[in-house]
Amino acid sequence: MGCNSSKSAAATDASAPKGVKVFGMPPSANACGPILLAMDAGVGGFEMCNLMEGEHKKPEFAAMNPFTHIPTIKDGDFAIGESLACLRYLAIKYKPEYYPVQDPNMCGMIDFAMESFSGDVYPKIAPGVFYPVFGFSGPPEDQAKANTEATELVDKWMKHFVKGKFVTGDKLSIADFKVGPFFFCLMQPAVETKTGFKLSDRAKQYTEEFMAATSSSAFLKSAGGYAIVEYAASKAPDAGPASGFTKVDVTSTFALGKPAGKDIKVYGMPPSANACGPILLAMEAGVGGFEMCNLMEGQHKTPEFAAMNPFTHIPTIKDGDFAIGESLACLRYLAAKYKPEYYPVKDAAACGRIDFACESFSGDVYPKVGPGVFYPIFGFASPPEDQAKANTEATELLDKWMKHFIKGKFVNGDTLSIADFKVVPFLFALMQPVIESKTGFKLSDAAKEYVDRFMTTVKASEFLKSAGGFSIVEYAASKA
């Protein structure tokens, strides 16, 4: 990350851990959210993990997080990674008003906001704009184009999610802790000076209101010389003060809709493993099921669909007047409202493990098993340059995931959870005969047994085998 700070240099009295340790580095916007939340809740704070010195590769760190990423949190003997999983765990256990599990609609919108930010907005604003200034990546080939793309996605996110002061109106939520540090990075004078990017007035105001509402946000300004403000300033000492903004009168509140009845529509396509999880869960809970959204015919680009999900992805669910997207947000909403045993919010540790399993699969395993192995066979991507290497990488990460998370029948021991609904459709796709015949990839026996247990337990999993000729089994067979 281009930061040579030592633990003593970066830690401050204000950020010293008090129980919960959040391992990270001060200029990492991804780590800052959980750090600020732990401090805001008064339960802990920052613990230095110097990536430049390889502290994340040490056995004691890998025991907490085998994927060796920051942030990682340690609360007593309990440890999980992934920024969103950490935020959700801290809120459920220590600051429930930031993630009110008794209100599935509110939590669904919070999750949609966070996950669409991570999946759609982050890839444009970080690698394309402020990471090169911070020295975390090389510059884009066309900075003006990168700025335009980043601006468009930030504006789209703001318009859909921030209709009051914060994502949930006038009250803070973990979504604000996720997004605020990233927008704060974009506001630094060095970023505008070196890239020409300017954050919108509305996004600046949102960030300023977040900073004003959280005393722990002082960590973003001062952390032994390595806070976001300090680190950015070191990259452009003569950049001057941040540009001002015109305050916008925010009077509207965030309407969450009024879900009604048990006719939930899960928009997707049968061969999409990403969409299958929410489809199966809605069917298993007996509250709804599959609604075709044919991407080949552009149905996701229609105004009606974009009104539900401006990022135009599947899966997207509609429950009465309430609509959200992102696979994990959909799974969590469905469980919280209709199948609470699959995401037991009264058990923060169980939910933390479930979230860590879901998000490490999405962030680490999926990029190898999807684009690297079965997507090319399904026609969703081009084949990798070196299939043998892709197979090896996929096998290693799957084995790592299985070893860390499947110590019983399922992720949550002998009880199903949303993590199983997330992961199994992908593993099931990998088990199809055409995958082995065309790529040489072989799913481990342990992973196959895990899938078989899920399929036996979840009667709705028949959808993976038969869906009018387009289920995963049927679609894979058509490619042989």
Chosen domain end from 341, 373, 394: 341
Whether residues 20 and 143 fall in one domain: no
Asked if the structure places residue 259 within a domain, the reply is: no
Whether residues 45 and 85 fall in one domain: yes
Asked if the structure places residue 197 within a domain, the reply is: yes
445-457 and 418-430 helices, crossing angle to 10°: 120
pLDDT at 12: 37
Rounded CA-CA distance 92/352 in Å is 9
Of 14-18, 75-79, 114-118, the poorest mean pLDDT is in: 14-18
pLDDT at 58 over 70: yes
Rounded CA-CA distance 161/167 in Å is 5
Alpha-helix runs per DSSP H in 77-195: 83-94, 104-116, 122-125, 131-134, 143-161, 174-186, 189-195
CATH code of the domain in which 470 resides: 1.20.1050.10
Whether residues 110 and 181 fall in one domain: yes
Asked if the structure places residue 67 within a domain, the reply is: yes
For residues 67-79, average pLDDT: 97
| Number of domains into which the chain is organized | 4
Rounded CA-CA distance 183/157 in Å is 12
Residue 255's pLDDT band (boundaries 50, 70, 90)? low
Rounded CA-CA distance 128/137 in Å is 9
Please check whether residue 275 is in contact with residue 475, taking contact to mean a CB–CB distance below 8 angstroms.
no
Per-residue pLDDT tens over the stretch 466-477: 998 999 999 999
Give me the domain span that covers residue 297.
264-341
Whether residues 169 and 86 fall in one domain: no
Residue 259's pLDDT band (boundaries 50, 70, 90)? very low
Please check whether residue 80 is in contact with residue 65, taking contact to mean a CB–CB distance below 8 angstroms.
yes
pLDDT at 16: 40
For residues 64-90, average pLDDT: 98
pTM score, whole prediction: 0.92
Please indicate whether residue 172 or residue 5 has the higher confidence score (pLDDT).
172
Rounded CA-CA distance 343/332 in Å is 7
Residue 261's pLDDT band (boundaries 50, 70, 90)? low
Whether residues 390 and 472 fall in one domain: yes
For residues 90-95, average pLDDT: 97
pLDDT at 5: 39
CATH code of the domain in which 290 resides: 3.40.30.10
pLDDT at 7: 39
pLDDT at 2: 42
Whether residues 214 and 136 fall in one domain: yes
Per-residue pLDDT tens over the stretch 110-164: 999 999 999 999 999 999 999 999 999 999 999 999 999 999 999 999 999 999 9
pLDDT at 246 over 90: no
Whether residues 74 and 132 fall in one domain: no
Task: Write down the mean pLDDT value for the chain.
Answer: 93
Asked if the structure places residue 146 within a domain, the reply is: yes
pLDDT at 371 over 90: yes
Whether residues 75 and 138 fall in one domain: no
pLDDT at 253 over 70: no
Chosen domain end from 98, 114, 144: 98
Whether residues 80 and 130 fall in one domain: no
Asked if the structure places residue 174 within a domain, the reply is: yes
Please indicate whether residue 418 or residue 2 has the higher confidence score (pLDDT).
418
Asked if the structure places residue 83 within a domain, the reply is: yes
Please indicate whether residue 13 or residue 384 has the higher confidence score (pLDDT).
384
Residue 238's pLDDT band (boundaries 50, 70, 90)? confident
Whether residues 225 and 324 fall in one domain: no
pLDDT at 251: 66
Whether residues 142 and 212 fall in one domain: yes
Asked if the structure places residue 253 within a domain, the reply is: no
pLDDT at 248: 76
pLDDT at 236 over 60: yes
pLDDT at 287: 95
Asked if the structure places residue 243 within a domain, the reply is: no
For residues 453-471, average pLDDT: 95
Of 146-155, 207-216, 232-241, the poorest mean pLDDT is in: 232-241
Per-residue pLDDT tens over the stretch 378-430: 999 999 999 999 999 999 999 999 999 999 999 999 999 999 999 999 999 99
- Structure token digits, residue 391: 């197979």
The closest of 292, 211, 200 to 246, measured between CA atoms, is 200
pLDDT at 17 over 50: no
Whether residues 86 and 111 fall in one domain: no
Q: What DSSP element (H or E) covers 205?
A: helix 201-213
Chosen domain end from 341, 370, 388: 341
Most confident of 14-18, 254-258, 261-265, 302-306: 302-306
Rounded CA-CA distance 135/246 in Å is 30
ω into 71 cis (within 30 of 0): yes
For residue 330, CA distances in Å to 5, 109, 279, 441 come to: 40, 9, 9, 30
